A and B are shown apart, each in its own frame.
Chain A
Amino acid sequence: MNRIDAAFARLKQAGRKGLVGYLTAGDPDRAASEADLDAAIAGGLDVLELGVPFSDPTADGPVIQAASQRALAAGMDVDGALEIVAGLRRRHALPIVLFGYANPFFRHGYDRLCADAAAAGADGLLVVDMTFEEAAELQPDMDRHGLYRIPLIAPTTPPARAARILTGARGFVYYIMVTGVTGARARVAADIDRHLRALRQCTDLPVAVGFGVSNGAQARAASAAADAVVVGSALVKAAREGRLPALVSELRAALDAP
């Protein structure tokens, strides 16, 4: 069983909401990044999204853009991110999803990427600028190496398209709560429940909601109709401000509160 399926099955059994945490690999350097990742995981992440930095992250807001620049300046690349995954895998059992942009993966070679990622202990890939149509070029390699492609659904995605994207999808669905790039928002979108009800019509997969969640109260509100909440930019920012363990505790407590 893929670790992603196992993690969501355990959450469901325990009646808990999941916390999916994103951090950029190698931000601000390899050693500090690994320490941050250990701290966040110890604080109670259920799934880790490890960002592979890219020079031109067109779906990311200023916080993750800056994190990517710091990581690249410190020499991070796909190989480095996979070494971090391998290190984490020796210490932790949680599912790890590589989150990145198409070009570094394409340049690495899809087959080599999937073989190396599976060997390092990754469980899935989320390529943010690869529509599911284009992902057809990557899918056979992912399947061969047992990696899940995590599908993204946006508020703008029409139901018929969502159904096509989710046919044969595995792991969990990442629902983007806002029409915009990653990063904190003052308020969490209002009509998520309606969108998620529609989404549940075409999939039995667990649904994680993300984009814009930065504190416990927002996480709690966003999790109402979802199975898990994704927090990214806020964790990246907290890590640089020395507040990472505090923020993870806050998110965990908010999601676990009765």
Chain B
Amino acid sequence: MPTQPDNMGHFGIYGGRYVAETLMPALEELDRAYREARSDPAFQAEFRRLLADYVGRPSPLYLAERLTAACGGARIYLKREDLNHTGAHKINNTIGQALLARRMGKRRLMAETGAGQHGVAAATAAALFGMECDVYMGEEDIVRQAPNVRRMKLLRARVVPVSSGTRTLKDAMSEALRAWVAAVEDTFYVIGSVAGPHPYPLMVRDFQRVIGDETRRQIVEKEGRLPDMILACVGGGSNAAGIFYPFLEDRAVRLVGVEAAGLGLASGKHAASIVGGQVGILHGSKSYVLQDGHGQILNAHSISAGLDYPGVGPEHALWADTKRVEYCGITDDEAVEAFYRLTRLEGIIPALESAHAVAEAVKRARGMAGDGIIVVNLSGRGDKDMGIVKVE
């Protein structure tokens, strides 16, 4: 199992750099700077200090006893990324990239966002380091994730509405790439997922692997062994890559990526790029993509803005092909049901994105013995989703 891409960022046949030539020198500069930072103990120490004192890490690994009892099977642990500063795992990555931007002498950040979690995390890092920040966000997402738009504005980020296409994450990323082409000489593009051109998929996975590293220590402390299964939702795939990566070599640990099946895979209205897409090239890398027979990108659909994307990180494509990670889909309705269930049984309101992983975990736990152990990456909290779910 290759765990490092080649020099051009290829994970097997996936990944690479499919971008306008104008961006190539910036990507090469970023790649050099990141490789230096990666092996610089001072950079790593500063990153760890901020994760501890600013983000609030390590996040707890919590045994959800009432959820476990209700399922009647394996013990379900929740990796509480929802308790991080700004309410999701996204901050791990934006702190890392902003530190790198500062090291490279860049004063401006830009980011794309779907649910607004990455936008808020990027705006937060910009405020922390005294940088400017532009966040590209689809107009549809600006409406459905309004609380996060207000947070970004409060943090002094400029929220740039994107009105092209479906006005969601795909179009926000296209527009961010266009804007970066025009501002590449002084602007650091903070990509929020393990997607985009090399070195982003590698770099974002490295910044997020802290989730899996902590999980490993915590579960051994609590249970004296590794879990039987780890589940995480997959849109672009950063929270999943972060928790899966440190367990890749532990073949006995089943890794399950949960994609958004929207209105059902058969409906065509979903965001399950691996389960329901084909190999293609989008936003800088080769991976699984939702597309028609002519190579035109299809519109994704998911109730959760953070999963509403027709592509997925290239390393996930490789993990799917090698079968190291299993990928499956959870529909909008199943995710909403899991959202209520976790809220009512545990007093934890999950992000709709994370609710997809919870829904699959509930199904799997039932079929496992009582001494089985499942870890679910609870990647974010659901405060932002109050406008989407019904409160009765």
Contact = CB atoms under 8 A, between A and B. Distances in A.
Contacts of B343: none
Contacts of B293: 107
A2 to B, nearest CB: 22
B294 interface: yes
A156 interface: yes
Contacts of A132: 21
Contacts of A101: 281
Interface stretch (A29-37, A54-62, A90-98, A116-124): A54-62
Given A56-B170, A103-B280, A180 B181 contact: yes
Instruction: Describe A's contact surface by its main secondary structure.
Output: loop
Interface centre among A59, A157, A176 (most CB of B within 10 A): A59
Interface in A100-143: 101-108, 128-134
A154 B20 contact: yes
B295 A59 contact: no
Given A134-B16, A180-B181, A154 B282 contact: no
Nearest to B175: A58
Contacts, number: 116
Interface residues of B, number: 37
A155 B174 CA distance: 21
B297 A181 contact: no
A133 B198 CA distance: 12
Instruction: Describe B's contact surface by its main secondary structure.
Output: mixed
Given A55-B297, A157-B24, A161-B24, A107 B280 contact: yes
A78 interface: yes
A114 to B, nearest CB: 15
Contacts of B25: 154, 156-158, 161
B289 A103 contact: yes
A77 B170 CA distance: 21
Interface in A41-73: 54-61, 65, 72
B4 interface: no
B24 A77 contact: no
Interface in A160-177: 161, 165, 176
Interface of B: 8, 16-26, 164-165, 170-171, 174, 177-178, 181-182, 184-185, 278, 280-284, 286, 289, 291, 293-297
Interface of A: 54-61, 65, 72, 77-78, 101-108, 128-134, 152-158, 161, 165, 176, 179-181
The 7 closest A-B pairs by CB, nearest first: A107-B295, A104-B295, A154-B22, A180-B182, A77-B294, A55-B296, A59-B20
